[in-house]
Structure 1
Amino acid sequence: MADTATAAGDTATPPQPPHSTRRERTGWYFYDWAMSAFSTTVITVFLGPFLTSITEVAAGCELGAADCTGYVYPLGIKVAAGAYFPYLVSLSVFLTVFVLPVTGAIADRSAHKKRLLAVAAFLGSGATIAMVFVTGDRYLLGGALFVFANVSFGAAVVVYNSFLPQLGGPDDRDGISSKGWALGYLGGGLLLMLNLVVVTLFSEEGNPQRTLDLARWSIVSAGVWWAAFTLVPLFWLRERPSVEAAAGGVRGNVLLDGFKQLGHTIKGLKAYPLTLFFLLAFLVFNDGIQTVIALASQYGTEELRLDQTTLIVTILLVQFLAFGGALLLGGVAKRIGAWKTVLMSLVLWTGVILAAFWLPAEAPIPFMILGAAIGLVLGGSQALSRSLFSQLIPAGKEGEYYGFYEISDKGTSWLGPLAFGLVFQLTNSYRVGLVSLLIFFVVGFLLLLAVPMRKAIIAAGNTPPRVL
């Protein structure tokens, strides 16, 4: 791998222009293909039920028991077996709030961002592969590996996203980001489909241990996939150091200086109020998106009384149609601009919520059609939000600002579920609970509409794209 960054002590060199080869962009896309296996196979489908089963065994329940009321005691804390995995998710999200901005600050000061991407990705994939040792009642090992993998996943995403502003000019980033998201959904969906086929073919009725083992190996396969395909961006991406690193290298301890730089950036955030306002809008509407994704299966099973086969088919449908949806909305953004396209996508999300309220129970076809609609709008709204934010980042601060972006993406994902849960508790209706999520899309739309994007981009010291 040939690096283009200057070594410490060299004479100053001008920042690299926002230009990249097709090979380099393809390498960048392939990290989305690599990491999406963790999001789909591990987080979305297999890990929650797998780790809950391991925890129930540790709590003294029989494997495959329909109802387990046992407890485990991690670090001496009494935890219901069924609550162990949600608590782990909360812990990992809490840790990312501290880890991600620091990771971004280090990336901005390092002349070797690819190395930082490799470290985060291989630590996360290694922890996922190590799930092969989570057998019997080893719930503590499984929990520790998951938290480590999930935090590493977020850190790698920050470094990965920080390359985006350096791969293309203002008019190119929407397309680049959309292709990355699209390939990610395709790769994640492909591995998930293969794993679901294997589990379906080799499971044995009345043998929960076989099902558990198949789930464990499915999780391991995602770690192997993540590690193997990470090699593509490591070989094909160029090193793209920050302006500071390119102008003479970074002296001193990168880790300690990263913490110091983060402090300076936090103090300086007030100089970019419009960037912060965009982050607020993203926090609100993205929370609605993430809540719909997280609770769709529960809504399908509890309210619509759909079987597991319908839910699995719908999940795969969403994955593969999100591939086309990301490209479709990327094409729309090229014509009318990313800002207008994201606003349009939020209107479509509002329509999805209203349609979900009227879905009939025990009717799989309407549910699948709604899943198809979610897939078409999902990838594009996420991809274009990422590229829009790249326009609002001051040069040389890509890593740090994408650290804050990832916190907005993951660190507040409890707001939507909280609203859903409170409304359900008051009304005892999943349908009304789902409709409560409309506020996130409506308020998010109004906040994003209020952001003067062209002015915000100029205020960050960047050149606006021709079409917004």
Structure 2
Amino acid sequence: MKHPYNRRSVYSWAMYDWANSAFATTVMAGFFPIFFKQYWSSGLDVHVSTFYLGAANAIASGTVALMAPLIGSVADQGGARKRFLLCFCALGAIMTGLLFLVQKGDWFTAVLFYVLAIVGFAGGNVFYDSLIVTVAPKQKLDFVSALGYSLGYLGGGVLFGLNVLMTLKPQIFGLAGSADAVRLSFMTVAVWWAAFALPLFLFVKETKAPSSKRIGAVICGSLDQLATTFREIRRFRTVFTFLV
């Protein structure tokens, strides 16, 4: 059966990369590390704040690493990818927006929201990537993947450029100073992420699973699949050693 190719679905899918890449540029790479040390860790010894920042990244990375096999298996089950993507997208965008409310010196709350936002970002990417097979036939996968990748760089760069301008020239935007500009930047990322993710949820039609399953059944099936995978991997000592 020929795979349907719909331009609106393709560009709607790719726009999610435009949407969430702003988190990678403005929050993860741009503002959070510096702002955490200068604002949210105000009053702490520089070595302590560095430790807290490293711990936040380690916790976020560890959480994602532990989740990855399960959510990857869930994505393979199909039929519920958009629902799981919506949950992770909402988690990431909401936690990012809440960074706007974190007061000076409140490093713990900043770390908590940041870790949860990263979980939302990384978890969502698993289901976003798995949806490509629903919008592109095999011969178009490279093109569609590259489209999303390029829009991600463009979207992330556009908002990051605006956020940098806000920080350098806060008075143009009616802000009292650069600290207010950085805090507002986190809110702009949240709104950007949520707004530009909408086309995917509205126009990408997910391929139905062979049999209709409830979320609980999908998760149980994924756990069974994951257990089977690990049993099979143990037969290949080199692969098992690499993963461990």
* Coarse TM-score class (shorter-chain normalised): 0.7 to 0.9
Against the structure 1 CA distance between its residues 153 and 272, is the aligned structure 2 distance closer, same or farther, given a 3 Å change threshold?
Answer: farther
Asked if the contact 2:135/2:204 (under 8 Å) is kept, the reply is: no
Asked if the contact 2:99/2:110 (under 8 Å) is kept, the reply is: yes
Q: Following the alignment from structure 1 to structure 2, what is the Cα–Cα distance between the partners of residues 133 and 109?
A: 38
TM-score by length of 2: 0.87
Asked if the contact 1:46/1:215 (under 8 Å) is kept, the reply is: yes
Q: CA deviation at 1:170?
A: 3.1
* Structure 2 equivalent of residue 102 of structure 1: 70
Tell me whether 1:171 sits opposite 2:139 in the alignment: yes
Within the candidate set 147, 150, 167, 2:118 is matched to 150
TM-score by length of 1: 0.47
Letter in 2 for 1:44: A
* Structure 2 equivalent of residue 219 of structure 1: 186
Q: Following the alignment from structure 1 to structure 2, what is the Cα–Cα distance between the partners of residues 269 and 31?
A: 33
Asked if the contact 1:110/1:250 (under 8 Å) is kept, the reply is: no
Q: Following the alignment from structure 2 to structure 1, what is the Cα–Cα distance between the partners of residues 109 and 83?
A: 27
Q: CA deviation at 1:85?
A: 1.4
Alignment of 1:420-459 (within 5 A): none
Asked if the contact 2:16/2:197 (under 8 Å) is kept, the reply is: yes
Tell me whether 1:26 sits opposite 2:11 in the alignment: yes
Alignment of 1:115-134 (within 5 A): 115-134=83-102
CA-to-aligned-CA distance 1:257-300 (integer Å, 9 cap, x gap): 32222222333457999xx7xxx8xxxxxxxxxxxxxxxxxxxx
Within the candidate set 232, 244, 250, 2:213 is matched to 250
Asked if the contact 1:51/1:85 (under 8 Å) is kept, the reply is: yes
Q: Following the alignment from structure 1 to structure 2, what is the Cα–Cα distance between the partners of residues 112 and 105?
A: 12
Q: Following the alignment from structure 2 to structure 1, what is the Cα–Cα distance between the partners of residues 102 and 178?
A: 14
Q: Following the alignment from structure 2 to structure 1, what is the Cα–Cα distance between the partners of residues 148 and 17?
A: 6
Letter in 1 for 2:180: D
* Structure 2 equivalent of residue 230 of structure 1: 197
Gapped regions of structure 2 (runs ≥ 5): none
Q: CA deviation at 1:58?
A: 4.6
User: Counting helix residues as a fraction of each chain, which structure ranks higher?
Assistant: 2
* Structure 1 equivalent of residue 228 of structure 2: 264
* Structure 2 equivalent of residue 45 of structure 1: 30
Q: CA deviation at 1:82?
A: 2.5
Letter in 2 for 1:257: G
Q: Following the alignment from structure 1 to structure 2, what is the Cα–Cα distance between the partners of residues 101 and 179?
A: 26
Q: Following the alignment from structure 2 to structure 1, what is the Cα–Cα distance between the partners of residues 234 and 3?
A: 27
Asked if the contact 1:109/1:250 (under 8 Å) is kept, the reply is: no
Asked if the contact 2:168/2:178 (under 8 Å) is kept, the reply is: no
Aligned partner of residue 20 in structure 1, secondary structure: coil
Letter in 2 for 1:217: L
CA-to-aligned-CA distance 1:88-124 (integer Å, 9 cap, x gap): 1111101111112211222333523211111110111
The structure having more radius of gyration, on CA atoms, is 1
Aligned partner of residue 26 in structure 2, secondary structure: helix
**Number of matched pairs:** 238
* Structure 2 equivalent of residue 181 of structure 1: 149
Asked if the contact 2:15/2:151 (under 8 Å) is kept, the reply is: yes
Q: Following the alignment from structure 1 to structure 2, what is the Cα–Cα distance between the partners of residues 211 and 226?
A: 22
CA-to-aligned-CA distance 1:47-67 (integer Å, 9 cap, x gap): 1111112343252xxxxxxxx
Of all paired residues, the percent bearing the same amino acid is 28
Letter in 1 for 2:23: F
Q: Following the alignment from structure 1 to structure 2, what is the Cα–Cα distance between the partners of residues 17 and 138?
A: 55
Within the candidate set 41, 48, 52, 1:80 is matched to 48
Q: CA deviation at 1:196?
A: 1.1
Aligned partner of residue 253 in structure 1, secondary structure: helix
Q: Following the alignment from structure 1 to structure 2, what is the Cα–Cα distance between the partners of residues 52 and 20?
A: 48
Letter in 2 for 1:256: C
Asked if the contact 1:58/1:137 (under 8 Å) is kept, the reply is: yes
Against the structure 1 CA distance between its residues 190 and 144, is the aligned structure 2 distance closer, same or farther, given a 3 Å change threshold?
Answer: same
Q: CA deviation at 1:169?
A: 3.2
Letter in 1 for 2:185: S
Q: Following the alignment from structure 1 to structure 2, what is the Cα–Cα distance between the partners of residues 111 and 153?
A: 21
Alignment of 1:225-374 (within 5 A): 225-241=192-208, 246-250=209-213, 253-269=217-233
Letter in 1 for 2:196: F
Gapped regions of structure 1 (runs ≥ 5): 1-15, 60-69, 72-78, 204-208, 281-403, 405-468
Alignment of 1:187-226 (within 5 A): 187-202=155-170, 210-226=177-193
Against the structure 1 CA distance between its residues 165 and 266, is the aligned structure 2 distance closer, same or farther, given a 3 Å change threshold?
Answer: farther
Against the structure 1 CA distance between its residues 261 and 86, is the aligned structure 2 distance closer, same or farther, given a 3 Å change threshold?
Answer: same
